[in-house]
Structure 1
Amino acid sequence: MNISDLFWIFIIFITLVPMFKQRSITHNRLQYLRSIERKRGTRVISLIHRQEAVSLLGIPISRYIDVEDSEQILRAIRLTPDEMPIDLILHTPGGLVLASEQIARAMIEHPAKVTVFVPHYAMSGGTMIALAADEIVMDANAVLGPVDPQLGKYPAASIVEVVKKKDINQIEDETLILADMAEKALHQVENFVQELLEDKMPAEQARAVAKILSEGRWTHDYPITYEKLREMGLKVRDDLHREVYVLMELYPQPAQRRPSVQYIPLPYDDEVKK
């Protein structure tokens, strides 16, 4: 065996090992989802976006809610019997409004109870999906976020605001076009969120909450805590099931050369008792 043979063996090795590792992780996820389904008597769907080293060279790939996600979730909901509750485990920075609205509408139309579990965060489009659920169960430190639309790299509300503050003769046509699109986007999202909330609270309250979440009063990454959601009148609980935390461990972040967080994975109460 010469150096050339060793080189090709090495190439095959670094190509196949990540593939088999990813298949093993995927299998473990499906097995664990099935175990949760048996325990709760529900259809369990996960929408979890984390950076995962899934490419040939282990380069992290960031994920967000896209049309492929909506297609898969809509298919899962169609395959679920009308009388069977749905549990959606949600961990996402957000994504396309179109895809998020499709998922939210499908959840509303499902006859049985729909529960969303949020272990860490569900921002932007993720919040929109969570609002469609009959109940939101989240970690006490988990957060949702505003759903104000974004046009490119700018918030729609900010585009509208800047046009109000300048003389129209000093504004470029492209900015005026963006402002028109931004106003439409704000109205569309506000109306849709109100529609999501109307069967969960009085109409006037639903209108007020929809405006708060969509008008751009906060930055788009503003964390809306469990307490704030309760104040808004949303039906939320903070007793997240242990199974959800375990499932999240099956969605590992790519390994780093130097871990930024380290701890001994033991419950300290048990250690103290000893």
Structure 2
Amino acid sequence: MSWGLFFLIIFILTIFIPILKNYNLNYKRTKMIKSIEKDEETRVITLIHRQEILSIIGIPFTRYINIEDSEEILRAIRSTDKDRPIDLILHTPGGLVLAAEQIAMAINRHPSRVRVLVPHYAMSGGTLIALAADEIIIDENAVLGPVDPQIAGYPAESILQVIESKEMADIDDETLIYGDVARKAIVQLENFLKTILDDKMDDDEIIRLIENLCHGKYTHDFPLDSKVLESLNIKHSIGLPDKVYTLMELYPQPGRNRPSVYYVS
């Protein structure tokens, strides 16, 4: 065998082996989703974000809620019979507010029951989506997160506090612009939460939830575990179907050289 042919075979294998692996993985995911649908008698939709690696050149990139996600989920909900319940399996660090709110409104408007299932975490925009559902079911160690708006990487509430603590003459124009956007973002988020929670909580409970989750009481990455959710009167239950965990195993978190966690099952 010539070296040219050898390198050609290696090149072809480099291209096609990842394709075959992805095909096999997608087949297993589809099979497991259908199995969960059969067991739970629901339509299963997944919104699962992992850090992924481009198969050929090995560059990692982080996924988050984006417009493509909202388009796909809206399409899936629209194609679901109005009398068919939906289970949304949610695993995400958050993402674009526009996309998260579109998904939340679509869930809120679905005539039949919608459950959000959280095996590990659903932060920020993920929490916004979860709050729109009829039921939230989490693993005993899973968490949600605050939904306070972020402006240019800074909490909106923190920007406003900085502006309030200084004399107007000492504040640069850019900070003032951020402050204006921050005020609008907070008001818009408050109104949105009132809309999706109107039939789930009374007015006092909604106001309390907004104060806790939208106004910087917690850092943006603070984990809202079951105890915190209970203290905020966010109704939820603990205990996911075993097959949800099996499905999550089909979304492996890729390592660079070696896995960080080992255990023997």
TM-score w.r.t. the length of structure 1 is 0.94
CA displacement, residues 65-100 of structure 1 (integer Å, 9 cap, x when unaligned): 000000000000000111100000000000000000
- The reply to whether residue 66 of structure 1 matches residue 66 of structure 2 is yes
Within 2, Cα distance between the matches of 1:131 and 1:158? 24
CA displacement, residues 186-232 of structure 1 (integer Å, 9 cap, x when unaligned): 11112211222221111221121122111111111000111111121
Check conservation: 1:90, 1:117, Cα contact below 8 A. Answer: yes
- The reply to whether residue 32 of structure 1 matches residue 32 of structure 2 is yes
Per the alignment, in what secondary structure is the counterpart of residue 52 of structure 1?
Answer: strand
Within 2, Cα distance between the matches of 1:37 and 1:58? 34
**Residue in structure 1 matched with residue 158 of structure 2 by the alignment:** 158
Letter in 2 for 1:99: A
Within 1, Cα distance between the matches of 2:214 and 2:229? 14
- The reply to whether residue 193 of structure 1 matches residue 193 of structure 2 is yes
**Residue in structure 2 matched with residue 177 of structure 1 by the alignment:** 177
Per the alignment, in what secondary structure is the counterpart of residue 44 of structure 2?
Answer: strand
- Cα pair distance change 1:54/1:27, threshold 3 Å: farther
Within 2, Cα distance between the matches of 1:151 and 1:42? 38
- The reply to whether residue 242 of structure 1 matches residue 235 of structure 2 is no
Per the alignment, in what secondary structure is the counterpart of residue 56 of structure 1?
Answer: coil
- The reply to whether residue 211 of structure 1 matches residue 206 of structure 2 is no
Listed as ranges, the matches of 1:1-274 within 5 Å are 1-265=1-265
Per the alignment, in what secondary structure is the counterpart of residue 89 of structure 2?
Answer: strand
Letter in 2 for 1:227: K
- Cα pair distance change 1:56/1:258, threshold 3 Å: closer
- How big is the shift at 1:57? 2.1
Per the alignment, in what secondary structure is the counterpart of residue 199 of structure 2?
Answer: coil
**Residue in structure 2 matched with residue 272 of structure 1 by the alignment:** none
Check conservation: 1:191, 1:210, Cα contact below 8 A. Answer: no
- How big is the shift at 1:243? 1.1
- How big is the shift at 1:259? 2.3
Q: Which runs of 5+ in 2 are unaligned?
A: none
The Cα RMSD (Å) is 1.1
Within 2, Cα distance between the matches of 1:149 and 1:55? 34
Within 2, Cα distance between the matches of 1:233 and 1:155? 24
Within 2, Cα distance between the matches of 1:214 and 1:38? 38
TM-score w.r.t. the length of structure 2 is 0.97
CA displacement, residues 155-208 of structure 1 (integer Å, 9 cap, x when unaligned): 111111111111110111111011000011011112211222221111221121
Within 2, Cα distance between the matches of 1:136 and 1:128? 12
Per the alignment, in what secondary structure is the counterpart of residue 177 of structure 1?
Answer: helix
